[in-house]
Structure 1
Amino acid sequence: MTTNKQAYTAINWNEIEDILDKKTWEKVTEQFWLDTRIPISNDLDDWRSLSETEKHLVERVFGGLTLLDTLQSQDGMAALRQSVRTPHEEAVYNNIQFMESVHAKSYSSIFSTLNTPKEITEIFAWTNTNEFLQKKAGMINDVYQTGTPFEQKIASVFLESFLFYSGFYTPLYFLGNNKLPNVAEVIKLIIRDESVHGTYIGYKFQLSFNEITEAEQEKIKGWVYAFLYELYENEVKYTESLYDEIGWTEDVKVFLRYNANKALANLGFSPLFPDTAEDVSPIVMNGLSTGTNNHDFFSQVGNGYLLGQVESMSDSDYDIV
């Protein structure tokens, strides 16, 4: 009886086929952070000052974001790992998978600080049954499970660079109004991660896309815009269900369209919508660009972790090249 032996190959970071693998690895590790180092409890006075409508909105958008981060960590990276071009790319996906789990856990840290156990149970019950939230998660996961490698990367970029932003709008709006700054600190760290994730995965898509025929490219391009618009139609309904009561719906839709265009740019495609950064609420853009408190999250565990300090968001945070 003969046994087939698997030949294992050690990853060699001294021989890099794609320099963007190395640069992205360095960027994502430099940006490492943990939710437990952010003093969310300092926002309790702000939380108590919010109306019940505002509190419910925060709870629901964070519940939705928890679901999407869970999907990305459990299924998204598993799908992308099936078509890696280099072992270093797989290592980057391993890091992304871990950070998506950190993101998902971060919302529970916010809930445990701001909410009662009964309220937390209600948040997750709403999250796990909301029809629009479940539909978009289902649409993305269907692609992860049955789509081509091209489609899987497209779905991942749409999730990272577009679908999260209906939820991000709320904490950025409050930050722009000088409320919940520590909660917003968590969100800005997540946004900083997601911007790199979306850019990197979009870059990997473009490498393979540029290797196929023009006819094949046109077929994929048609699928991209059709899938994005289907996601957008559902996202509009989700946004209306969240924001109609508070009166922010139209502003959030602008923010969604702006980020949908950013997702397309990550994939190398032209924008679908006319909206630009100038059209987005200046309060939200101010919240996105406001300098952080530069918490030294890791001072309790030694200077070796000082690389985790938070920096202000800037345009360069969306670039890894």
Structure 2
Amino acid sequence: MPKTLDKVAVLEPLNPNKSTALFGGKASGILNWNDLAYPHFYNHREQIRALFWRASEVDMTQDIKQFPTLPEKEQDAFLKIIGLLATLDGPQTDIAARIGHYSTDPSVKSIMATIADQESEHNHSYAYVLSSVTSFDRQNESFETGRKDEVLLKRNERIMQVYNEFALNPSIENVLKAMVYTALLEGLFFYSGFAFFYNMARNQKMVGTSTMISYINRDELQHGRFISDLFRATLAENPECNTAEFTDWVYGQFRHSVDQEMNWSRYVLDGIDGIDLIEMEGYIKYRANKMLRMLGLSEMYEDYVDNPMKWIRAYVDNFDDTKTDFFEQKSRQYTKTSDLNGFDEL
């Protein structure tokens, strides 16, 4: 029988401050960052906290002017991909908070609260981008993509099932499965969408949006690192869950997710100038291998241990918090506006 989890009480002074387990243990609820069950979680906390930013600080002036001039295919892909990202990041705020609710380690609660806040800002950023470049009706249409687009609904079917199962039946097994899909979301599901915006930026199109995406991407890399670490630690604390059957389940979800990501990229990126779909599919497999290694598992796609999408290295795949423009090769910095979305400069 799976070990059922209960929501953790806010304060239990009779319990020790240092948690006895990540989930299903005991802790007072008093957080002492200098006395943690997993001291290196403090480093995760500092790295994630260092990434604070706000969407409204990114200058969208040029994007406002450029969007109406984009080819119809690029405009359509832009709106569909924003819809995809919003579909994923909205629930991610909730799932991060839920994982925190059931963790008996107060450091995990604190880190997941920060992640939830950042995911909320990501979701806000998509609304901010759309409000900058298109009409209210088209904004709403983009946000409806996750509810109505058949390809996207199929793509998100399993993550919806796993997240809802954890919400309805919290257990060690289900929180582990939710963490697997959180890692997939942070490290794989966004990446064909990110590639679209980075490809536009290297052609000096919609650079404000691309800059926003790069900050989201940087956050997701750090979130993925922590979730992968939390997954491994939770599995180590619960060796009865570390079975061949569970490992096979994880590999099966990765295989399915790669297939769905490739289907989505063919659906939304076909015909986009500068995007090679064969190269994109190789990149998706490369990202899957990378996330499997972070979860402590072996690679699935032996021919994709190196990044086949050379040009995208300027934007992603680093963990040192530095972003560079492909066409400028210098650190990306905010250009802040003095008025909302830069409308004063039109």
Do both share a fold (TM > 0.5)?
yes
* Shift in Å, 1:99: 0.5
The change in CA–CA distance for 1:212 and 1:298 in structure 2 (over 3 A counts) is farther
C-alpha contact (below 8 Å) 1:173/1:287 kept by paired residues: no
* Shift in Å, 1:196: 0.6
Q: Secondary structure at the match of 1:19?
A: coil
Distance 2:295 2:11 in 1: 35
- Mean CA deviation greater in 8-17 or 34-43: 8-17
C-alpha contact (below 8 Å) 2:159/2:181 kept by paired residues: yes
Is the aligned partner of 1:271 residue 2:290? no
Structure 2 letter corresponding to 1:27: Q
Is the aligned partner of 1:182 residue 2:214? no
Distance 1:230 1:156 in 2: 15
C-alpha contact (below 8 Å) 1:254/1:275 kept by paired residues: yes
Distance 2:260 2:241 in 1: 29
Q: CA RMSD in A?
A: 2.5
State the partner residue of 1:237.
Answer: 263
Is the aligned partner of 1:44 residue 2:73? no
CA deviations 1:2-36 (Å, max 9, x no partner) are xxx97354222332222222111111111100000
State the partner residue of 1:21.
Answer: 41
Is the aligned partner of 1:7 residue 2:21? no
Is the aligned partner of 1:123 residue 2:162? no
Is the aligned partner of 1:208 residue 2:234? yes
- Mean CA deviation greater in 19-28 or 284-293: 284-293
Q: Secondary structure at the match of 1:210?
A: helix
The change in CA–CA distance for 1:141 and 1:82 in structure 2 (over 3 A counts) is farther
- Which of 253, 264, 275 is matched with 2:281 structurally? 253
CA deviations 1:252-288 (Å, max 9, x no partner) are 22222121122112211112122244411x3333344
- Mean CA deviation greater in 160-169 or 285-294: 285-294
- Using the size of structure 2 for normalisation, the TM-score is 0.77
Structure 2 letter corresponding to 1:133: L
Which ranges of structure 2 fall in alignment gaps of 5 or more residues? 1-9, 14-28, 167-173, 317-323, 340-346
State the partner residue of 1:95.
Answer: 114
- Mean CA deviation greater in 242-251 or 147-156: 242-251
- Which of 201, 210, 221 is matched with 1:195 structurally? 221
C-alpha contact (below 8 Å) 2:214/2:315 kept by paired residues: no
Distance 2:335 2:135 in 1: 28
Distance 2:110 2:238 in 1: 26
C-alpha contact (below 8 Å) 1:21/1:88 kept by paired residues: yes
Work out the percentage of aligned pairs sharing the same amino acid.
23
State the partner residue of 1:138.
Answer: 157
Is the aligned partner of 1:73 residue 2:93? yes
How many residues of Structure 1 are paired with residues of Structure 2 in the alignment?
294
